[in-house]
Amino acid sequence: MPGDPHHPFDRVRVLWADHLGLPRGKYIAARNRSKPTGFCVTTFAMAYDRDLVPAPHAHLLTGLRDVDALVEESTLRPGWEDARTGVALCDLTIDGEPYPVSGRNALKQAIADWKAAGYDVKVGLELEGYILEPTFGNDGRHEPTGWQRFQNPRAMVYGTGPLGDPSGLLDEIWWTADRCGFTLESMNVEFDESQVELTLEY
C-alpha cells in the first residue's frame, strides 16, 4: 500500500483457482487487503460453457452463498499490469472453515497429512500449454478477427533461442516473471508448434 516500502501498491488483484483451474478474483483497495472479500460460492457449480450444475458444496439450490477470500500476505508481490497493482493469492473459507472444494485448501491439507506422517513435502509446478496470437482480417481496420497458434514453425522439442521463439516472447515472459517475483527454474519450446513448457523453483 502507499507508504509501505515493501508493498507500494494502491490496489491488489486477489486470485484463487476454481474447480476447473481457472483464475478467479477481483481488484481490491490495498488498504483493505487484511479484510475478507466475498465471492459467490456457486462459481464452483459452473462448467466451461457457463452451465450451472448442482455440484457438491456449490450451494446452487440452497441460496447461492458466499465464500470469504482472505489475502495470504506472503504471496503478495508486484503484478504484471502496472506498478500500482500488486497480485496475491487468497484462501477461501465458508462459515469460518476452509472451503473443501478449494484446490489450495486441499493441497494445504495434503501437505499437513504428509507432515503428520513424518514426511517433508515439496510441490513442483510444471506449466505446459499453447501460446496463441491474434489473426487480422484484410479489411484494413487492424482489428483482431480470431486466434491462431503462435508462429514458430522451426520449433523443436527442447528448443531454445530465436528458432523456437523468433519474436522473443518467451524472453519477455521470463523477465516479467522475474520482475513479479516468480522464480522460474526452466523454460523451453515443447514438441508441437506454439507449445511451451516452464517450471517454477520450489
Q: For position 48, what pLDDT does the model report?
A: 94
Q: For position 109, what pLDDT does the model report?
A: 94
Q: Which pLDDT band, with edges at 50, 70 and 90, does 3 fall under?
A: very low
- In DSSP notation, the chain reads -TT-SS---SEEEEEEE-TTS-EEEEEEEGGGTTS-EEEEGGGGGB-TTS-B---TTS-TTTT--EEEEEE-GGG-EE-SS-TTEEEEEEEEEETTEE-TT-HHHHHHHHHHHHHHTT------EEEEEE-EEEEE-SSSS--EEEEEE---TT--TTB-STTT-TT-HHHHHHHHHHHTT--EEEEEE-SSTTEEEEEE--
Q: For position 166, what pLDDT does the model report?
A: 87
Which residue ranges make up each domain of the chain? 11-116, 125-200
Q: Of the ranges 33-37, 48-52, 156-160, which one carries the lowest mean pLDDT score?
A: 156-160
Whole-structure pTM value: 0.76
pLDDT 10s digits, 58-93: 999 999 999 999 999 999 999 989 999 999 999 999
Q: Which pLDDT band, with edges at 50, 70 and 90, does 7 fall under?
A: low
Q: What is the mean pLDDT of residues 167-179?
A: 92
Q: What topology is assigned to 11-116 in CATH?
A: Ubiquitin-like (UB roll) (3.10.20)
Q: For position 2, what pLDDT does the model report?
A: 42
pLDDT 10s digits, 113-164: 999 999 999 888 999 999 998 998 777 777 888 999 888 887 889 988 888 8
Q: For position 6, what pLDDT does the model report?
A: 59
Residue 1: is its pLDDT beyond 60?
no
Q: For position 4, what pLDDT does the model report?
A: 52
26 forms beta bridges with 14
98 within 8 A of 104, measured Cβ to Cβ = no
Q: 196, exposed or middle or buried, with CB in 10 Å at 0-12, 13-18, 19+?
A: buried
How many angstroms separate the CA atoms of 188 and 198, rounded?
Answer: 7
